[in-house]
Structure 1
């Protein structure tokens, strides 16, 4: 049985109990992070913890753990779960109150939970072996604070289910003006004539850590040109390449959008360069 962390203690998963009066359960009132690790090495750890702390501040949730505390917690959790290829899920809710009320309660301790789960081996930078994603599009119907990595993910879940019900891998979203926001669980990039383009961060886009790392790596370790600007739906459908980024997927190649073949219907040459560079440099940030 896997070992988890709950409110200061490590314990078997089956022994972890959280009150039904916890605001994370009642309201989705919390923040979470998912950090990939391979053989004990985390990808983008500092950036993940910084985003976690920013989300907690945005929701006015008080949590006493420092970045160093989180590092020690995660390292011990990895060690107690075998230090293989693991995703680390971190979850902080506002805590447990004596009643259900919308207003934030005062002076209750946050609930802090963390566990590990097995993930696949590191994604390959190989056109023939790379997964080929097929996606659909939809109008973005989620709340307007998507930059906060809240545990209240029902809007994302419903959009993802739209795709899953059709046997597709992801649903990429557009605002009411027809401009790209993100996927239900990913950030989105396009490539056109050698230029890599992704929408700028806004309240409708989660500041993905893989997105952040990839932009830094491309700018610092390649001559590939990158732009952050608005992207129309037509640009997505006419792109030479489309990529999804996330902690679990790293840089994933999309070969079909709404039934239309993207590029040659396989991962493209810039995807190969990007994923190769990401694989080499991802532990340096």
Structure 2
């Protein structure tokens, strides 16, 4: 069953548990992670939790729990849910205190949900998805996985209303990432993705793709690329915890390459699946 957790107590997802003065609710003052569980086993959980703690440090949010503490809590929740393939959303906020901008002297608030995973269909993977480009209107510190996602939501909605799966964000003429994904292009058989900086999230599936490219003898480069280079790419694909490795075959209603998922993307996805199978 799908379940929730808040500050030491497992609860029904329908239970009313968030106080009015919760700073995540009032300010978006917190950070989060999404961890995929495959057949009861977490995928790259250590990397997810290290990113969570780094995000908390970046917003000066003190966390007393260790990575091992969070691992134990997550696996206890997964076991309690009896779900073998699920997504775990773990959220930490600055706590519960009377509304004011200054940091309160209260404990952090920890909440979590465990929900059944809804993998993308084989049809989507076999035919690829579509995207639009959109101005990157987010703040300057996108490397922090914060709760403040309004610009992402607005861009994603624009993409949806255009009949597309994702919006590819562009800042000063250069592609940064998607609204909820890292972005990659293929040129001369090599993979290119935006270098890590404050302007993009250090994706966990991005790490996995970088690792699996080498045994496939696919060159992997972290270099900036323009919107024009995006549109002239041989292939485009996106990565995220929930989408995994997903081909994009049309952008702004124009075909990318031959308008079908490319061979490099297919090879990377197959290798990604093998990595999951060895958990």
TM-score range, shorter chain: over 0.9
Task: Name 1:95's counterpart in structure 2.
Answer: 95
Alpha-carbon distance in structure 1 between the residues aligned to 2:76 and 2:16? 17
Contact 2:49–2:67 (8 Å) recurs in 1: yes
After superposition, residues 9-28 of structure 1 pair within 5 angstroms as 9-28=9-28
How far apart, CA to CA, are the structure 1 residues paired with 2:42 and 2:26? 31
Matched, 1:140 2:140: no
Distance in 1 separating the partners of 2:127 and 2:48: 25
User: Does the 8 Å contact 2:185/2:191 carry over to 1?
Assistant: yes
TM-score by length of 2: 0.95
Q: What's the counterpart of residue 240 of structure 1?
A: 234
Q: 2:174 aligns with which of 152, 166, 179?
A: 179
Distance 1:53 1:42 in 2: 18
Gaps of 5+ in 1: none
Tell me, what secondary structure is at the counterpart of 2:14?
helix
Q: CA deviation at 1:103?
A: 1.4
The match for 1:274 among 251, 263, 268 is: 268
Equivalent position to 2:166, from 170, 175, 199? 170
Counterpart of 2:75?
75
Aligned CA-pair RMSD? 1.8
**Kept after mapping to 1: 8 A contact 2:3/2:115:** no
TM-score, length of structure 1 as denominator length: 0.93
C-alpha distance in 2 between matches for 1:205 and 1:58: 14
Query: 1:117: how far off?
Result: 1.4
Q: Give the deviation of 1:70 after TM superposition.
A: 0.8
C-alpha distance 13-128 of structure 1, shift in aligned 2 (>3 A): closer
Give the C-alpha shift of residue 13 in structure 1.
Answer: 2.3
Instruction: Give the corresponding residue for 1:231.
Output: 225
SS at match of 1:130: helix
Mapped contact 1:42–1:283 kept (Cα < 8 A)? no
